[in-house]
Structure 1
């Protein structure tokens, strides 16, 4: 069955908009964006046309000692409508299932779910017995939802066995005694609840799941929902989540970003745009941020990323690993028609780059720091002085010792540093290769032009002059501008009487503490100015 799912008009006026619902749908947004209220709107908008079964994020996970045994019709009405008598109707569902407050009501229907699961097994057994008597021959026993749950459970939790017996849920871990389902962990109970609810939802229905990842370990979420989707071919699942990883994991779903709720059934929303060069979870992170975007080198949790987060509080900092990824991500975001309205910049290490390359990168919104490596910024004179004063040491003496140590270290590997800088600049020139025409001659000609720009003697001489000037200056900051060595902060720790590597950690602690302003000011001199 093909569903026609609608959302409120994104302009706030006019008829609702139909969205692609050929697969499942993910509604993603930050806390407070009105996602739950939108789920309620979808339920109320569609429930007179389709069966809509919504599971709220606010739910009790208490498993009863015994499930109450009911007939199938009674159990189905009880779960779907909240009551099982002649008044069990769509029109009364908001009161009987949701207590009149669908946005905040604590849904407590685990007992109803278990009653329906047992009722479906009993009805399957009754029909099978009847058919067997009539045919007087063996008939294959079809799986009831309980049988399917047992199989899924074995796939996602291989070291736990689940059983449904005599109105009870029983669980057994490998080599451990059996225990009642009410003693299960939150993750086990919510897994059973979610699987059961989706399997019990009628065919050709819309199933709305608010916070499908809650209480579940990251390693289980994908497995569980992949299996549920596999078994829900006749249903459309609408997920409501703020979890970027979960949203990205639903690879074939239509993803809608809920930006804000403006009251009176007015939401600001948009489709999540496609961008081949950026991972989908990053796209979700970017469009969900209410700040400008800063791409930087490094990995999540690294100290250099912490520096950027503190130095640029008005930006959402996204680490991308190496400089190539920073450049790629910044260009992709700024050039994407659907995303170019987002203010994105990139910051990378200067890393031997000459002025021509720096200018070319700047044209794409990518800026370089004033030292060779971000690690060098921990060693600049103003930062060393802050740490020395904190340790009640003479700042002038400490700066002099650090300067002489780094000067000596640079001289000891000067030839390596000069050749590495020259290598980097030659690589940049080689990267500018382009054919002069669309044939073999054009390739040859283009290569000749590229190689003609490369004079190793001149490049090496220019690089040597830069290092010679830095050495002659005997200035700490000038040395750090050209000296490309990530280990310098760790190596100067001993000069200040600190254990190896402790200097950088201490500086970050000071940056987060009472000397935040002093350290930030000291480092910002060497960081690019951002709007």
Structure 2
């Protein structure tokens, strides 16, 4: 029997946001859900926040501005009830003004207002408990009626965020902090920046009226990355009656929030008419999309052309790709399998048709048929065994040798001959050739095994017969050795596993592999003609990973 559809949480506010293509994007803020908007600087997030504030009914939205100040001179609110009432009459106007993108007219009072509202909620809660007690209501019924105390929620949020501090009130109607481990009490005015920021964010959220739409503009400001996501998640869980709009630069926070009920939008740009933002370029990111975290981070960052590569951002090959492909966002995805999954997941997601994604993987001895199969999936294969080998191609060696010759007073051709011979000598003995051939053969067999793996495994016996590629690979390497074919080795074998790189670097008068590869990267960066040749070598005549 088909299950009845789940009832949606109540809608607290709705908007029709004008889009750059003259359409409109409908958004509903619902209780317990999060609308996450992420994008780079200049993508229109703050302008969108102001537009939403201007198009929300009075009394519905509580906006926490990005440019908030987190310091306060005292440990309690320095404003009176009359001051709070007067400010409230103006805050809605100021939060809707164009200036709110960069200016807060009440920045000197925001912290006081947050503490005033928090203390007010605490007093109201205490008063309600006293009323119930005087009326003869039992303790258990009072607990059921009131629910979790505000202080319990506040300190639970801080603890969940990983902060080792709890908050209490003093007899003087101020707030005090206590270190959970050391047991030391101190005024909240002496808290660290991160602790104060977390307290003020928590006060804004927990003191908001029931069924509010709470807009957090760059909540990660003044927070360490290790606590921002957990703090925001804890606050959202603490207010299931409220809807949330979170505008952020933090891709980690956006990825975390994308798993919660609600909407995730990537802000790609904004159109202006004078000083007014009029239309936005926004894309929905579906949480059900079969995409990897690397892909999600890239598209949440507003990226349209994404090239997934093997490796990590800390390696030298990452800036090399950036030099060779200035028009693409290069995203290190880790392993070859992660590159293939990232590109495949995006290609299966129709809602990401605006994202142009490709992949680039090491050659690793792949056959022509393997490379053709990957190309059909939008995956390019390097013309060399591993990306580091690009630094040792003859044209790169020659370009670096020219700079070294100028600096050291040497002859270019002599340096080039010495470097190539040193590389060949490092690979010349039979044991090295056999070891390299075995590694390439093993990698090829492993890929074939994966490709032959059945979709389902039952009781029937599985038999796989593979012919070893080792003799053919070894013959190719021995032929390259016989022909003194330096370039063939650079393209075919993983030289990282040999003394090849160190010998070539030394022949070019460098003290280490790292120094040579950094010099090679700088040479490629400063030489557009060389960079273009490398791009053409990698991606063919187009010189960039276009779809063929």
Contact 2:340 2:379 in 1 (8 A): yes
The 1-side partners of 2:340 and 2:99 are apart by 49
Contact 1:69 1:119 in 2 (8 A): no
The 2-side partners of 1:201 and 1:436 are apart by 53
Matched position secondary structure for 1:5: strand
Q: Which position in structure 2 is the counterpart of 1:520?
A: 531
Counterpart among 93, 96, 101 of residue 95 in structure 1: 93
Q: Which position in structure 2 is the counterpart of 1:196?
A: 203
Cα separation, partners in 2 of 1:505 and 1:170, compared to 1, 3 Å: farther
Counterpart among 412, 418, 421 of residue 401 in structure 1: 418
- Pairwise mapping of residues 117-516 of structure 1 onto structure 2 (< 5 A)? 117-135=118-136, 144-165=149-170, 166-173=172-179, 175=182, 178-250=185-257, 251-252=259-260, 253-263=262-272, 265-274=278-287, 276-280=289-293, 282-286=295-299, 288-391=301-404, 392=408, 393-412=410-429, 413-433=432-452, 451=465, 454-456=466-468, 459-487=469-497, 488-507=500-519, 510-511=522-523, 515-516=526-527
Matched, 1:52 2:61: yes
Cα separation, partners in 2 of 1:181 and 1:20, compared to 1, 3 Å: closer
CA distances 1:358-412 after superposition (whole Å, capped 9, x unpaired): 1222222222222211111122222223333333243333333332333233233
Q: Which position in structure 1 is the counterpart of 2:49?
A: 39
Q: CA deviation at 1:176?
A: 9.1
Q: CA deviation at 1:69?
A: 6.5
Q: CA RMSD in A?
A: 3.4
What TM-score comes out, normalization by structure 1 length? Answer: 0.84
Contact 1:28 1:241 in 2 (8 A): yes
Q: CA deviation at 1:219?
A: 1.3
Cα separation, partners in 2 of 1:75 and 1:222, compared to 1, 3 Å: farther
Contact 2:197 2:222 in 1 (8 A): yes
Contact 1:118 1:146 in 2 (8 A): no
What TM-score comes out, normalization by structure 2 length? Answer: 0.81
Task: List gaps (5 residues or longer) in structure 2.
Answer: 1-8
Q: CA deviation at 1:16?
A: 6.4
The 2-side partners of 1:120 and 1:127 are apart by 10
The 1-side partners of 2:249 and 2:278 are apart by 20
The 2-side partners of 1:5 and 1:42 are apart by 9
CA distances 1:336-365 after superposition (whole Å, capped 9, x unpaired): 322244322221111111112112222222
Cα separation, partners in 2 of 1:291 and 1:225, compared to 1, 3 Å: closer
Number of residue pairs matched by the alignment: 508
Contact 2:420 2:504 in 1 (8 A): no
The 1-side partners of 2:326 and 2:265 are apart by 28
Contact 1:213 1:221 in 2 (8 A): yes
The 2-side partners of 1:118 and 1:440 are apart by 67
Matched, 1:17 2:26: yes
Matched position secondary structure for 2:177: strand
Q: Which position in structure 2 is the counterpart of 1:110?
A: 111
Matched position secondary structure for 1:308: helix
CA distances 1:133-169 after superposition (whole Å, capped 9, x unpaired): 4549878686653453234334435533444322433
Cα separation, partners in 2 of 1:149 and 1:422, compared to 1, 3 Å: closer
Contact 1:490 1:503 in 2 (8 A): no
Matched position secondary structure for 1:273: coil
The 2-side partners of 1:401 and 1:138 are apart by 89
231-240 or 494-503, which moves further after superposition? 494-503
Contact 1:256 1:271 in 2 (8 A): yes
The 2-side partners of 1:280 and 1:311 are apart by 25
Matched position secondary structure for 2:41: coil
